[in-house]
Amino acid sequence: MEDPAVEEAEVSGAAEFAPALIAAHPHGNSVAVAIGPELRVFDLKAGSQVLLSHDCGGRSHSDAIRAICFSVSGALFASAGDDKLVKVWKTDSWRCIRTITSEKRVSAVAISNDDLYVTFADKFGVVWLVTLGEDGTEQVSVDNKPVSILGHYCSIITSMKFSPDGRFIATADRDFKIRVTLFPKNPLKGAHKIQCFCLGHTDFVSCIAFTSMSENQSFLISGGGDSTVRLWDYINGLLLDTCQVRDKMGELLEPNETDDSTLAIADICPSNGDSLVAVAIQSFNGVMLLACDVVEKKLSFLKVITMEKSYIPTSLASSFSSELLWTVMGASNMPNQASSQLLTRLRIIPCFQKDLISSDNSPAVLEDSAVPHGEKLLLALQGSLDIAKQEELDLWFSRSNKTIAEFPCNAVLYHY
């Protein structure tokens, strides 16, 4: 039976809202933005927009893209969404090497650390797996159909990640839980061994991220609709620390903006080295920075970087080789939105690194003229440089964001 919240959202139309997404190549080679059915990629090395090439007979996305990711190696990229398509791309040529059709709409996607498998979750909470080939570079037989490897009993999976050592796959869902499953050596036979559940969130879990390996250990960070960011020992399912975002935001928001429904965590992004965690918060025009002490196993509030009142980030990204925090604002399938309005706004924060912990100064958000490759990048990823259009987008999205927060199923915008 389908999640009642999903049925209610689909009737009301709320399920159609889709946030703009951003992903950064792990080695800083490129950055990708998804808005509606559009996938926009900019090559940071060549300084030019990427022309995507589809596999023979493959279709382009025709509905909202709900999930994008680079593989750990950076060799592959995956996109998936409401059109039930999962597309896998080679990033050296940006040629789509595989188009997979799901029976249901897709809410999350991840690529195994060895680039051999792509996993995706459908709206019934089932995780599927497809083999990509020995080196992830050649298109495999069309007979290689998706195989179900685990299910969440009809709960929508909101986020899915592989652990840094590739041994585990973690999935978060709308039923307040995180499941950590041992990723088997032969996943085509299913992933049947649950390592643990990470329980503690009191509302939907919207996003998860692993810290990198340090002394053979890593940790899991999660954010949710309960306005908390949590640190976990994911091997044993132990909650190590909790940061109450609502307590930190009280002085920055208007009294009518401090209820829990408007302070859901939209996205989290650890820095290179894991000393910082950037947090995007629904309805907040900026980013919160947390200090992450993996030795003491603590999360602590560091500072808030505010942006213009109308800029409310919907997705965050960074790479291993860069000190830039990429943020994007935008949404598709909104009320009274024309197809020509698939515009986004980008804001980039420099110095996303450990030095911020000991500094009293907040990094300034880069001006448009100071972003890498300037107008070429902004035109490629935002869709427009027209100031009037961007100001119209700011006003429209700011109003729409307040409307979204009033929906009973407010989780829908960020992870359905």
Higher pLDDT, 95 or 145: 95
Residue 334 has pLDDT above 70, yes or no: no
347 has pLDDT over 90: yes
pLDDT surpasses 70 at 388: no
Report the C-alpha gap between 411 and 15 in whole angstroms: 9
d(CA 23, CA 241): 27
Residue 393 pLDDT class (50, 70, 90 cuts): low
* pLDDT confidence of residue 169: 98
Q: State the pLDDT at residue 415.
A: 41
Per the CB < 8 A criterion, the answer to whether 178 and 148 are in contact is no
pLDDT-wise least confident of 137-151, 176-190, 296-310, 400-414: 400-414
∠ CA 309-390-325, rounded to 5°: 65
Q: Are 410 and 404 in contact (CB under 8 A)?
A: yes
Q: Considering the chain, what is the average pLDDT of its residues? A: 85
The predicted model gives 53-80 an average pLDDT of 91
Q: Over 60: is that where the pLDDT of 278 sits?
A: yes
Q: Which residues contact 394 (CB under 8 A, 6 or more apart)?
A: 308, 310, 311, 345
Q: What is the pLDDT of residues 23-62, one digit of tens each?
A: 999 999 999 999 999 999 999 999 999 999 876 667 899 9
Looking at residue 310, what is its pLDDT?
85
Give the pTM.
0.89
Placement of tokens 């039976």 in the chain: 1
Please give the pLDDT value at position 256.
59
In the predicted model, what is the mean pLDDT of residues 381-405? 62
Distance CA 311, CA 49 (A): 24
The pLDDT-based confidence of 273 (bands split at 50, 70, 90) is confident
128 contacts 147 by C-beta, under 8 angstroms: yes
Position 139: which residue type? Answer: Q
Which amino acid belongs to residue 216? N
Average pLDDT of the segment spanning 2-28:
67
The total number of residues shown for the chain amounts to: 416
Which has the higher per-residue pLDDT, 279 or 404? 279
Q: What is the 3-state secondary structure (H, E, C) of the chain?
A: CCCHHHHHHHHHCHHHCEECEEEECCCCCEEEEEECCEEEEEECCCCEECCCECCCCCCCCCCCEEEEEECCCCCEEEEEECCCEEEEEECCCCEEEEEEECCCCEEEEEECCCCCEEEEEECCCEEEEEECCCCCCCCCCCCCCCEEEEECCCCCEEEEEECCCCCEEEEEECCCEEEEEECCCCHHHCCCCEEEEEECCCCCEEEEEECCCECCECCEEEEECCCEEEEEECCCCEEEEEEEHHHHHCCCCCHHHCCHHHCCEEEEEECCCCCEEEEEECCCCEEEEEEEECCCCEEEEEEEEECCCCCCCCEEECCCCCCCEEEEECEECCCCCCHHHCCCEEEEECCCCHHHHHCCCCCCCCCHHHCCCHHHHHHHHHCCCCHHHHHHHHHHHHHHHHHHHCCCCCCHHHHC
Each residue of 227-270: pLDDT tens digit? Answer: 999 999 999 999 999 999 988 886 666 665 555 557 999 999 99
Instruction: Note the pLDDT of residue 133.
Output: 75
Tens-digit pLDDT profile for residues 103-160: 999 999 999 999 999 999 998 999 999 999 755 445 444 457 899 999 766 789 999 9
pLDDT tens track for 155-204: 899 999 999 999 999 999 999 999 999 999 999 999 999 999 999 999 99
- pLDDT for the residue 343: 82
pLDDT score recorded for residue 101: 94
Q: What pLDDT, on a 0 to 100 scale, did the predictor assign at position 396?
A: 58
Look up tokens 């049925």; give the residue: 7
What pLDDT, on the 0 to 100 scale, is given for residue 408? 34
Could you tell me the maximum CA-CA distance found in the chain, to the nearest angstrom? 58
For residue 88, pLDDT beyond 50: yes
